[in-house]
Structure 1
Amino acid sequence: MWLRLPTSVSEAQEFLSDGAVPIGGATLVWATWQRDGFPDQAMSLRDLPEANTVGRGTLGAAVVLHRIGDDVPEVLRKAAATVGTGAVRRTATVGGNLVGSTLRCLLPAALVLDARATVLEPDRLYETDLAEVVAKRPLLLGLKWNDPSVSGYRKLAAEAGGPPPFVVAAAVHADADGQRLLRVAVRDGYEVLSETTPCGAGAEEAVEALRRTDLGALDATAWEAVREQVIDVLTRPSAG
């Protein structure tokens, strides 16, 4: 197998046109390749500057999870910190988690940030929403978002070998008119749900509004986790 390491977007597009298979951090594809056979060409974005950014409002797809620190909002930082073991986080990438993984541990956090995805194809570079990323599994170059005023993330305990643990992410943003909006996303099993509601009237009112959405159908334990996370986020001084 020939590993391609592009250093520019145009070079990455050339390798894609030649049939190179993106590998992310290779934590998810290696076992499959050992079973089914290795491709002739693979491609890693680890040397591509545009895929390695970590900063205010931006995160590259080739960034390994353990590099995600205080430069990003709390919700994304905590989501990354709870993925697998330390060894996994030193290898697994943002793009691999969002596109290659069925768990998509970072997806609820990215949804509440209202993140946009930059996607790389052989003949174009374009921006899209996370729904397309999940549905089509393109080659992700990176994420961009506007920082929230406050955010939070919680993962419930789960039994080893059982269903994926329930997670809830929340963030407060201001819209174009200055109105405060609360975005909440959960992973329940393998399903991810997200909702948005105004939150200027206070935490309890926001909780009641969310109760009337699809989130209200969660089981009692999951709903309580949502309620607690919403109240925690909306009662912090930075949420005002």
Structure 2
Amino acid sequence: MFVRLPTSVSEAQECLAEGAVPVGGATLVWASWQRDGFPEQAVSLREVPEARVVGDGALGAAVLLHEIDARVPEVLRRAAAGVGTGAVRRTATVGGNIVGSTLRCLLPPALVLDARAVVLEPEGPVETDLAELLAKRPLLLSLRWREPVATGYRKLTGVLRGEVPFVVAVAVTGAERPVLRVAVRDGYDVLSEAVPYDTDLRRMLGALALTALGTLPEAVFEAVREEVVGVVERAGAC
């Protein structure tokens, strides 16, 4: 297998047009390639500047999980820190986690940040929403978002749906018309809801309880409540 390392978006487009398969950090595809056979050529974005950005409201698809630091919101940083082992985080990429993984540990944080995806289409980079990204699985270049007011994250290792722990991500976004966003990974699915931000905490929690989040196990919704309380307190202090 020949791995191509383009240094620009245009070069990456050429690689894709010539049949190169995106490789990411290869933590997810390597076993299947060993079983089913390796492609003739693969392409990695690790030398493409647009896929290596960290900070200022952006996170590149080729960024390794262990490289995610205080330049991004806490909700993303904590989610990345909880993925697998240190060895996995030193090889797995943002793009591979969101597009290639079934667990998609970074998806709940991306949803509560109301992030947009910059993907590489034949005509060039195009911005799209996360739903289309997951449905069509194009080559992800980066995630982009507006700076949140406050965020929170929790991984419920003691509460499982099968072998998959629940994850709770919360954020208050929007300065002029703030919105409270909550996303919960339930098994291999992610529930995401948003309600208008309100200084009346009880009213906001009541609104969330009327959504699909209200059908979650009691221990999980309690974790949602606690994270919402913490995020609202931090938002009020900003």
Above 0.5 in TM-score?
yes
Query: Alignment length, in residue pairs?
Result: 238
Asked if 2 retains the 8 angstrom alpha-carbon contact of 1:150 and 1:238, the reply is no
Return the alpha-carbon distance in structure 2 between the equivalents of residues 239 and 80 of structure 1: 26
Q: Deviations 1:33-89 (Å, cap 9, x if unpaired)?
A: 000000000010011111000012000000000010000001111111100011100
Asked if 2 retains the 8 angstrom alpha-carbon contact of 1:233 and 1:239, the reply is no
Q: 2:154 — aligned with what?
A: 154
Question: SS of 1:56's equivalent?
Answer: coil
Q: 1:61 — aligned with what?
A: 61
TM-fit CA distance, 1:162: 4.2
Question: SS of 1:104's equivalent?
Answer: coil
Asked if 2 retains the 8 angstrom alpha-carbon contact of 1:16 and 1:121, the reply is no
How does 1:202-221 map onto structure 2 within 5 Å?
202-221=200-219
**Runs of at least 5 residues in structure 1 that lack an aligned partner in the other structure:** none
Return the alpha-carbon distance in structure 1 between the equivalents of residues 35 and 202 of structure 2: 52
Q: 2:118 — aligned with what?
A: 118
Return the alpha-carbon distance in structure 2 between the equivalents of residues 168 and 8 of structure 1: 36
How does 1:1-240 map onto structure 2 within 5 Å?
1-158=1-158, 162-174=162-174, 178-236=176-234, 238=236
How large is the RMSD of aligned CA atoms in angstroms? 1.6
Distance 1:160 1:150, change over 3 A: closer
Asked if 1 retains the 8 angstrom alpha-carbon contact of 2:25 and 2:96, the reply is yes
Question: SS of 1:206's equivalent?
Answer: helix
Return the alpha-carbon distance in structure 1 between the equivalents of residues 69 and 10 of structure 2: 29
Question: SS of 2:66's equivalent?
Answer: helix
Question: SS of 1:11's equivalent?
Answer: helix
Percent identical: 65
Return the alpha-carbon distance in structure 2 between the equivalents of residues 161 and 91 of structure 1: 27
Distance 1:179 1:159, change over 3 A: closer
TM-score, length-normalised on structure 2? 0.96
Return the alpha-carbon distance in structure 1 between the equivalents of residues 169 and 144 of structure 2: 17
Asked if 1 retains the 8 angstrom alpha-carbon contact of 2:159 and 2:220, the reply is no
TM-fit CA distance, 1:158: 4.4
Question: SS of 2:169's equivalent?
Answer: strand
TM-score, length-normalised on structure 1? 0.95
Asked if 2 retains the 8 angstrom alpha-carbon contact of 1:149 and 1:239, the reply is no
TM-fit CA distance, 1:179: 2.5
Question: SS of 1:152's equivalent?
Answer: strand
Return the alpha-carbon distance in structure 2 between the equivalents of residues 100 and 200 of structure 1: 36
